[in-house]
Amino acid sequence: MKFSEQTWGRIAPIYGAILDHPFIQELSAGSLSRERFQFYMIQDALYLADFSAALALIADRTPDPDIATQFRESARNALAVEGVLHETFLREFGTSGDKTTVEASSTCFAYTNYLLATAQRSPVEVAVAAVLPCFWIYWEVGKHIRAGAAPANPYQRWIDTYGDEVFGSRVRHAISIADGMADAAAPTDRDAMLAAFYRASQLEWMFWDSAYRRETWPV
């Protein structure tokens, strides 16, 4: 069984919980409150800056020049293509995702620091597995919502970005890289890849949930 088949099967309950979450349900229906979506977009802008840095770290560490090129391109896309989407919505909200003025939520902080630490300290194939859920889950969620979104959905630009085939082609390439690395990995490293993918998938659910709750630090 391919790594991607094995790990997607393992996170099926997590992915199901994401689709069932009120944030996703209301986003699809177009009824998600502006306040919740604004909180999400600001936190996601903060997340993407560190996610891009994690991708760049992976590019620097991998010995394969083709994989390095892929991850450098993905790092640029995270800041450019998705950055434009954030800037458009944030301008509408009259705010920004500037790290000097907005604090990361505890979940955003935990997620990005997990990715950065893994990208820096773990075997590179484990780091690839850790960043893969952000690509893959967003694409699956985008396709799912796009297929059933309410007409005139105020969040259609977000839906179109992540449900688009251009994004999908990048996701499939990332999955292929992870599968190739898993095939060549020692059993212990493959197990670590599975664990990293699972943990990052849990953090994906937590990120949606934190946005719906408009999470604040406990003290």
SS (H, E, C) the chain: CCHHHHHHHHCHHHHHHHHHCHHHHHHHHCCCCHHHHHHHHHHHHHHHHHHHHHHHHHHHHCCCHHHHHHHHHHHHHHHHHHHHHHHHHHHHHCCCCCCCCCCCCHHHHHHHHHHHHHHHHCCHHHHHHHHHHHHHHHHHHHHHHHHHCCCCCCCHHHHHHHHCHHHHHHHHHHHHHHHHHHHHCCHHHHHHHHHHHHHHHHHHHHHHHHHHHCCCCCC
Give the model's confidence band at 82: pLDDT under 50 very low, under 70 low, under 90 confident, else very high: low
Instruction: Specify the pTM.
Output: 0.93
Please provide the CATH number assigned to the domain covering 3-213.
1.20.910.10
Which of 35-49, 70-84, 141-155 has the lowest average pLDDT? 70-84
Give the model's confidence band at 85: pLDDT under 50 very low, under 70 low, under 90 confident, else very high: confident
Which of 21-35, 64-78, 109-123, 125-139 has the lowest average pLDDT? 64-78
Domains of the chain, by residue range, sit at 3-213
pLDDT at 98: 54
Give the model's confidence band at 102: pLDDT under 50 very low, under 70 low, under 90 confident, else very high: confident
